[in-house]
């Protein structure tokens, strides 16, 4: 592509980084990141998000943190990548810390955010903290009264249990 004089787009770089992430190829991901930096290519939210995801999936947590902190702008997707990245590598306390930072930045969490935070709370046996973070209330606000539970015997996948009119404990 480059040899033919075609300038790669943001989508091209994001796709390359995603391919490196899926294959676990940190070296090629770093080469792509280096090319972006050397050629002063403006890294948008897609490139930056792909970088954070790559570094987490390849186990390079410090690089993921650095890439996230270098983002000129963040949105709920960027915050979700960071939270789910920490959860994926077992850094549950850090995931909850990023969730708190997200709230302080006044970014509205979505269902993906809550799912990742619930996994972290589940693994930390921090159900009370999950309630304090307000995860249960938004889920109940959808109309039908359901509670998300994370079952240890079924792994850490979320399951919905219909409330029987009992208080949550």
Gap between the Cα atoms of 84 and 33, Å rounded: 21
Gap between the Cα atoms of 100 and 84, Å rounded: 14
Gap between the Cα atoms of 39 and 115, Å rounded: 38
What pLDDT digit, counting tens, does each position of 75-127 carry? 999 999 999 999 999 898 899 999 999 999 999 999 899 889 888 887 777 55
Gap between the Cα atoms of 53 and 51, Å rounded: 5
- pTM equals 0.72
Could you tell me whether strands 146-150 and 158-162 are parallel, antiparallel, or unpaired per DSSP bridges?
A: antiparallel
User: Percentage of residues in the chain with pLDDT exceeding 90?
Assistant: 46
Nearest 5°: the CA angle 97, 99, 103 is 115
Domain locations along the chain: 1-73, 74-169
State the pLDDT confidence band at 139, using cuts at 50, 70 and 90.
Answer: very low
What pLDDT digit, counting tens, does each position of 28-51 carry? 999 999 999 898 788 788 999 999
Contact 136, 169 (CB under 8 A): no
Contact 45, 77 (CB under 8 A): yes
- Give the residue ranges of DSSP H helices in the chain: 10-23, 26-38, 45-57, 61-69, 76-88, 92-104, 111-123, 127-132, 136-140
69 has a pLDDT exceeding 70: yes
What's the pLDDT score for residue 134?
A: 56
Contact 116, 130 (CB under 8 A): no
What's the pLDDT score for residue 135?
A: 55
Gap between the Cα atoms of 52 and 132, Å rounded: 28
What pLDDT digit, counting tens, does each position of 112-121 carry? 998 898 888 8
DSSP string, 113-132: HHHHHHHHHHHTT-HHHHHH
């Amino acid at each position: 592509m480059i040899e033919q004089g075609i300038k790669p787009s943001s989508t091209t770089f994001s796709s390359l980084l995603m391919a490196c992430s899926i294959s676990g190829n940190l070296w090629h991901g770093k080469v792509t990141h280096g090319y972006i930096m050397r050629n002063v290519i403006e890294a948008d939210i897609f490139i930056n998000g792909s970088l954070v995801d790559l570094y987490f999936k390849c186990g390079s947590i410090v690089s993921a943190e650095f890439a996230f902190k270098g983002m000129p702008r963040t949105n709920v997707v960027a915050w979700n990548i960071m939270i789910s990245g920490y959860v994926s590598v077992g850094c549950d306390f850090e995931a909850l810390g990023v969730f708190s930072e997200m709230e302080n930045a006044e970014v509205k969490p979505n269902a993906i955010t809550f799912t990742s935070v619930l996994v972290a709370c589940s693994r930390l046996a921090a159900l009370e903290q999950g309630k304090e973070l307000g995860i249960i209330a938004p889920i109940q606000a959808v109309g039908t009264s359901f509670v998300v539970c994370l079952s240890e015997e079924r792994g850490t996948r979320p399951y919905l249990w219909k409330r029987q009119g009992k208080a949550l404990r």
